[in-house]
């Protein structure tokens, strides 16, 4: 018999943990970049147009959103940086990495993103046209992008 520790057989450990695991709600779903590819960008509400920075899990994300519903995004976490694009359609941003987030107006009037429809992953965005809230990597990325 396979043993997980010196005293507990693996089968017994699974038997003991399984009820707890089945009680968990799994809200995560596999990213699907085809949603981004096939989305036709639609106009965003006026409150969402501009440059915004917010926390999203371990990432700091900065995004520049235009009125037509397209966005350029940059995010950093530790030494992991990435850039991409997003399209807005019917209250949802579809990201080029396959993720998506619901767009809504927060109590402050600024935009909020709810990642993949899970209220536990809420990002309250702050206006950041000066890029002072953006990570150094993203500030440099947008400064160079704007210079083109």
Sorted by where each begins, the domain ranges of the chain are: 34-147
Residue 61: band (very low, low, confident or very high) from pLDDT cuts 50, 70, 90: very high
Asked if 112 and 105 count as a contact pair (C-beta separation under 8 A), the reply is yes
Give CATH for domain 34-147. Answer: 2.40.128.500
Asked if 142 and 74 count as a contact pair (C-beta separation under 8 A), the reply is yes
State yes or no: pLDDT of 19 exceeds 50.
no
pTM, to two decimals: 0.76
Q: What are the tens digits of pLDDT across the range 80-133?
A: 999 999 999 999 999 998 989 999 999 999 999 998 756 678 899 999 999 999
| Whole-number percent of the chain with pLDDT over 90 | 61
Please report where in the chains the tokens 């359609």 appear, as a residue.
89
């Amino acid at each position: 018999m396979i043993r997980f520790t010196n005293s507990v057989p693996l089968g017994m450990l699974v038997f003991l943990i399984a009820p707890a695991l089945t009680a968990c709600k799994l809200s995560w779903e596999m990213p699907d970049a085809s949603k981004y590819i096939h989305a036709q960008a639609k106009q965003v509400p006026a409150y969402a147009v501009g440059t915004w920075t917010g926390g999203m899990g371990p990432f700091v994300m900065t995004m520049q959103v235009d009125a037509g519903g397209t966005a350029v995004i940059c995010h950093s976490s530790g030494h992991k940086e990435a850039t991409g694009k997003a399209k807005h359609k019917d209250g949802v941003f579809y990201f080029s990495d396959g993720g998506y987030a619901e767009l809504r107006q927060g109590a402050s009037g600024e935009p909020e993103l709810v990642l993949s429809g899970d209220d536990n992953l809420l990002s309250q965005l702050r206006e950041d046209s000066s890029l002072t809230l953006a990570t150094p990597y993203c500030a440099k990325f947008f400064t160079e992008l704007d210079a083109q």
